[in-house]
């Protein structure tokens, strides 16, 4: 393994600024790591020349004494972000020939701050999935227990596998119902979903517009803060973008948790959760207590309805968003006898099974006669779920839960769609309420797979989320490296 791969984002940033090594050297180390770990299937597109050009500019900036917050740091981008002139497929066959003519706001923010782009990372098709198995180009392997072929989680499975295998220093992800936090948990890294509205959705392939939110996947909580600092910000091109300045998260690192109140919801310890996760949940609670936090039992009574609400609202919004793939303006067209036939063949052929299933569910629940019974009902229960959080956050500052009920499952293990959906049980509620959440690794289960804990904060309290997560991070001292990491 190149010695340069051992530096995390914050450490590498410091080292580059101190001229211990150059961005070109670091970028080359990552390009080599990408080649060494190519059997994982994390990358869909590698942009070596582009990366080295960006790295050269960074090196020149540093020698000129100019340095932006992410100067010279090589990162990967989930294929849901449109990148100008670089193929963007959302892991779908229907976008197999799509080269955006514009750049998403979030990725533009990263390049403006000096980050170096390594390439595009695989994900579930249109971010619909929890295992990365719905990707048109095939599975991504989790770098942990490589011989057992376990899922990296999803939908940001490529992003999580790349960071965990040290073939990207950090990566972007998107989270609709857990798509950053669940893969981060499965791959033993940190994943942060910001408050809805923190990061602009402009230029991100739309899945479920009232839920989609971009965020970072990184090795450490501090790294996530550095990434989010650059990714977040008001954007008038996204009508739901929050016109609220985020404090510089770097000013709030290592602030501790003394006197903070942590809620433990009784609904998150139900059957079906693995013993090892329960054990680490209890341990995490004691760590926070030892660090001076007050632990308070709370109740989120509508938690069990979060998944059914999600599996109405997300497919409904998806069916509407995905209507744009018509084989006329972009994407792969399949010719038919007439216009309707062309639409049906283009979409029938271009979308994978899970995407078609969700379009069907979404179209059904929005169709005449069923709208009130399903869609409106789900929106009403969504309000009750949000009210549960509002009530609890009157009493506590943060909520601690496991990130997932089990550690990573084997690829091909969950064939039934519903069984797969149940994996998001702990991440979906915060998504529906628009709240920020972070998953970080706290230990390994008996088989050697990472366990993630989730902290949820009040809307727009990313500052508190970061410093509380750092307390857990320090107590857990998780310093294991995946066996499938770059060597």
Interface pick for other proteins out of 39, 97, 286, 391 (rule CB under 8 A) = 97
Among 2, 61, 240, 283, binds other proteins (CB under 8 A): 240
The binder of other proteins chosen from 138, 247, 292, 348 (CB under 8 A): 348
Residues in 242-301 that interact with other proteins by CB under 8 A:
242-243
Identify residues 9-48 at the interface with other proteins (CB under 8 A).
none
Cβ-in-10-Å burial (0-12, 13-18, 19+) of 147 comes to exposed
Q: Are strands 116-121 and 43-46 parallel, antiparallel or unpaired?
A: antiparallel
Question: What H or E segment, with its residue span, contains residue 399?
Answer: strand 398-402
Instruction: Give the residues across from 174 on adjacent strands.
Output: 214
- Could you tell me which stretch among 50-58, 98-106, 145-153, 167-175 binds other proteins (CB under 8 A)? 98-106
Tokens of 381: 């229960």
Q: Least distance (Å) from other proteins to the CB of residue 104?
A: 16
Q: Is 131 designated active site?
A: no
Q: Given the residues 159, 165, 167, 179, select the one marked as catalytic.
A: 179
Nearer to other proteins, 164 or 435 (CB): 435
Query: Which residues ranging from 307 to 326 are in contact with other proteins (CB under 8 A)?
Result: 307-309, 311-312, 319, 326
Q: Does 78 bind other proteins (CB under 8 A)?
A: no
Of residues 413 through 452, those in contact with other proteins by CB under 8 A are 416-418, 421, 432-434
**2, 53, 61, 210: which one contacts other proteins (CB under 8 A)?**
210
CB closer to other proteins, 30 vs 421? 421
Establish if 93 lies at the interface with other proteins (CB under 8 A). Answer: no
| Backbone torsions φ then ψ of 298, nearest 5 degrees | -135, 175
Q: Pick from 120, 201, 302, 414 the residue near other proteins by CB under 8 A.
A: 302
**CB-CB neighbours of 472 under 10 Å:** 23
Shortest Å, Cβ 386 to other proteins: 6
Question: Closest by alpha carbon to 37, among 165, 170, 145?
Answer: 165
- DSSP line for 250-287: GGGTT---TT-EEEEEGGGS-TTS-HHHHHHHHHHHHH
- Count H helices, E strands: the chain? 15, 11
Rg value, the chain, Cα = 21
Which CB, 50 or 383, lies closer to other proteins?
383
Any residues with CB less than 8 A from the CB of 30 and at least 6 apart, and which?
Answer: 5, 51, 74, 118, 167, 168, 169
Q: Tell me the closest approach of the beta carbon of residue 240 to other proteins, in angstroms.
A: 6
Binder to other proteins among 96, 290, 344, 483 (CB under 8 A)?
344
Residue 19: CB minimum distance to other proteins, A: 40
Residue from 381, 425, 442, 471 touching other proteins (CB under 8 A): that is 381
Give the C-alpha separation, 264 to 295, whole Å. 7
- Residue 373 CB contacts under 8 Å (≥ 6 apart), including other chains: none
Active site residue 78: yes
Pick from 296, 345, 444, 481 the residue near other proteins by CB under 8 A.
Answer: 345
**341 vs 483 by CB, closer to other proteins:** 341
Q: Tokens 């909520």 label which residue?
A: 399
**Residue 442 φ/ψ, nearest 5 degrees:** -120, -10
Q: Which of 78, 120, 414, 458 is catalytic?
A: 78
Among 113, 274, 383, 475, binds other proteins (CB under 8 A): 383
> What part of residues 147-176 is at the interface with other proteins (CB under 8 A)?
none
Question: Burial of 57 by CB count in 10 Å (0-12 exposed, 13-18 middle, 19+ buried)?
Answer: middle
- Round to whole Å and give the CA distance between 430 and 280: 21
Tell me how far, at minimum, the Cβ of 307 lies from other proteins, in Å.
8
Q: Which residue has the tokens 């190149």?
A: 2
Q: Which of these segments, 23-31, 59-67, 123-131, 373-381, binds other proteins (CB under 8 A)?
A: 373-381
Which is catalytic among the residues 155, 156, 230, 241? Answer: 155
CB of 98 to other proteins, least distance (A): 6
User: Which residue's CB is nearer to other proteins, number 369 or number 477?
Assistant: 369
Beta strands in 85-225 (DSSP E): 116-121, 171-175, 190-193, 213-218
CA nearest neighbour of 156 among 210, 136, 176, 10: 176
In the complex, least distance from residue 264 CB atom to other proteins, rounded to whole angstroms: 24
Task: State which residue, 374 or 393, has the beta carbon closest to other proteins.
Answer: 374
User: Is 374 a binder of other proteins (CB under 8 A)?
Assistant: yes
What is the rounded distance in angstroms from the CA atom of residue 195 to the CA atom of residue 175? 11
Residue 138 interacts with other proteins (CB under 8 A): yes or no? no
Cα(474)–Cα(42) distance, rounded to whole angstroms?
Answer: 29
Range 323-342, binding other proteins (CB under 8 A): 326-333, 335-342
Contact between 410 and other proteins per CB under 8 A: no
Catalytic residues, by residue number, are: 78, 155, 179
């Amino acid at each position: 393994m190149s010695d340069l791969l051992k530096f995390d984002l914050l450490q590498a940033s410091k080292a580059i600024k101190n001229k211990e090594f150059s961005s070109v050297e670091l970028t080359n180390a990552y390009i080599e790591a990408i080649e060494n770990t190519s059997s994982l299937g994390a990358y869909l597109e590698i942009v070596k020349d582009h990366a080295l050009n960006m790295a050269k500019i960074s090196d020149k900036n540093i020698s000129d004494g100019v340095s932006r917050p992410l100067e010279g740091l090589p990162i990967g981008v989930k294929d849901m972000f449109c990148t100008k002139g670089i193929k963007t497929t959302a892991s779908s066959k229907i976008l197999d020939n799509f080269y955006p003519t514009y750049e998403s706001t979030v990725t533009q923010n990263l390049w403006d701050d000096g980050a170096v782009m390594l390439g595009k990372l695989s994900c579930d098709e249109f971010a619909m999935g929890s295992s990365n198995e719905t990707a048109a180009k095939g599975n991504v392997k989790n770098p942990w227990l490589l011989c057992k072929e376990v899922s990296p989680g999803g939908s940001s499975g490529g992003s999580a596998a790349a960071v965990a295998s040290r073939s990207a220093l950090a990566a972007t992800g998107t989270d609709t119902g857990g798509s950053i936090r669940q893969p981060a948990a499965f791959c033993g890294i940190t994943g942060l979903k910001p408050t809805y509205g923190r990061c602009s959705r402009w230029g991100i392939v739309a899945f479920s517009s009232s839920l989609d939110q971009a965020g970072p996947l990184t090795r450490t909580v501090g790294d996530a803060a550095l990434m989010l600092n650059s990714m977040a910000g008001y954007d008038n091109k996204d009508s739901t973008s929050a016109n609220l300045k985020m404090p510089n998260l770097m000013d709030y690192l290592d602030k501790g948790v003394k006197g903070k109140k942590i809620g433990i919801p009784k609904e998150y310890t139900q059957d079906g959760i693995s013993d090892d996760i329960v054990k680490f949940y209890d341990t995490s609670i004691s760590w926070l207590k030892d660090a001076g936090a007050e632990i308070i039992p709370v109740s989120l009574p509508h938690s069990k309805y979060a998944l059914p609400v999600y599996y109405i609202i997300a497919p409904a919004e998806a069916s509407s968003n995905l209507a744009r793939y018509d084989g006329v303006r972009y994407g792969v067209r399949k010719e038919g006898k007439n216009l309707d036939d062309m639409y049906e063949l283009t979409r029938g052929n271009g979308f994978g099974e899970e995407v078609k299933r969700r379009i069907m569910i979404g179209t059904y629940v929005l169709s005449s006669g069923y709208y009130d019974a399903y869609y409106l009902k789900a929106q009403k229960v969504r309000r009750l779920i949000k009210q549960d959080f509002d009530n609890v956050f009157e009493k506590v500052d943060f909520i601690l839960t496991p990130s997932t009920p089990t550690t990573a499952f084997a690829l091909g293990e969950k064939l039934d769609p519903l069984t797969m959906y149940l994996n998001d049980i702990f991440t979906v509620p915060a998504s529906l309420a628009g709240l920020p959440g972070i998953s970080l690794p706290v230990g390994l289960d008996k088989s050697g797979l990472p366990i993630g804990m989730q902290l949820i904060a009040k809307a727009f309290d990313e500052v508190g989320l970061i410093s509380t997560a750092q307390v857990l991070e320090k107590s857990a001292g998780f310093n294991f490296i995946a066996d499938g990491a770059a060597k």
